[in-house]
Amino acid sequence: MRKRICFWLLAALCAGLLTGCGAPEKAPEPSLVLGFSQLGSESSFRIGNTRDISEQAKAYGVSLMMDDANQKQENQINAIRRFIAYRVDVIAFSPIVEEGWDNVLAEAKQAGIPVILVDRTVQTADPDLYLSQIGADFYREGVMAGEYLLKKADALGKERLRIVEITGTENSTPMKQRHEGFMDTIAGDPRMEVLESVNGDFLRSRGAECMQYLLDRYGGDIDVVFSHNDEMTMGALPVISRAGYRPGQDMVIISIDGGQEAIDILKTGEINCIVECTPMLGSLLMEAALAVKAGQPVDRVIHPAERVFSDEDDLSALPPRGY
């Protein structure tokens, strides 16, 4: 008899667990469904940006649909169209280049889905096609690189500095504005001579190819290499060394992003200056998207705080960069 009672008690307990009492709480409805088109995975910056956005979506309880466009604008346009069809609450994307978005953004506007730009921006005749742009002040990054070089020229006591520039993806916001900020800053200084700018597309392999071309053409006449991101810089460094020059000594090396690998090289002296371009934009994006969903206003432009690391700094206590 006792066995029978135990059996039925056990059965009742299991039934209770299966039917609800004691069952896990039903997962709460996501506060927001966010469609995000990432442009690719070309650099430590980009990989860190993707990881941070995923992590912050979880932290904020946001349901994230992420698409990797593999460096192709058409893939981003197709992803945005899928987000529209899926009727996400908010669309965000990092536009690989500035032009060519009006049609698909007009479709999002027609569907009543707000758009937030992340990292880079777009050129459009209709400012209503997006609500907010969250990303670095790239012009300021170029200015900070130029300001470092002016100070370095004073410290080196150089009468003339011949500069080569390795730029990022043609017609991308960071490429256009970093170039402009840097050139505007050094323009008035008679010591500065720009030999040539070449496009490295933010890729390590292309950075190496560009540096080889520039060394073949200008050799030891190069005093300064201004590179628009660490990937291209790290592609260029071994090419400089193999040509018999000491990066950081025979040539001043100025870079942008500030990922761990490049910061570690800065500490060895092979890079002289890195302007920070933080990929950690996830929390800014989630807060803006949740505000939009809640009908609250969001700033038109949101810049993260950024700094400069250089051979003037004591970086021994710098915490891990996280990208």
Q: 106 or 280, CB closer to ligand GZL?
A: 280
Using an 8 Å Cβ cutoff, are 253 and 233 in contact?
Answer: yes
In the bound complex, what is the minimum distance in angstroms from residue 230's beta carbon to ligand GZL? 7
In the bound complex, what is the minimum distance in angstroms from residue 278's beta carbon to ligand GZL? 8
Q: 231 or 270, CB closer to ligand GZL?
A: 231
Q: 118 or 161, CB closer to ligand GZL?
A: 118
CA distance 135 to 95: 11
CA distance 225 to 312: 18
Amino acid at 28: P
Burial 106-117 (b: 16+ CB within 10 A, else e): eebeeeebbbbb
In the bound complex, what is the minimum distance in angstroms from residue 43's beta carbon to ligand GZL? 3
CA distance 174 to 255: 13
In the bound complex, what is the minimum distance in angstroms from residue 12's beta carbon to ligand GZL? 60
In this structure, the dihedral spanned by the alpha carbons of residues 95, 96, 102 and 108, taken in order and rounded to 10 degrees, is -40
Q: 89 or 257, CB closer to ligand GZL?
A: 257
Q: Which residues bind ligand GZL (CB under 6 A)?
A: 42-43, 45-46, 119-120, 135-136, 174, 202, 229, 231, 256-257, 277
DSSP state of 251: B
In the bound complex, what is the minimum distance in angstroms from residue 177's beta carbon to ligand GZL? 10
Q: 92 or 113, CB closer to ligand GZL?
A: 92
How many other CB atoms are there within 10 angstroms of residue 16's CB atom?
12
Using an 8 Å Cβ cutoff, are 45 and 169 in contact?
Answer: no
In the bound complex, what is the minimum distance in angstroms from residue 283's beta carbon to ligand GZL? 16
CA distance 202 to 228: 7
Q: 161 or 233, CB closer to ligand GZL?
A: 233
In the bound complex, what is the minimum distance in angstroms from residue 119's beta carbon to ligand GZL? 5
- Nearest Cα neighbor of 100 from 80, 74, 79 is 74
CA distance 9 to 100: 68
Q: 83 or 202, CB closer to ligand GZL?
A: 202
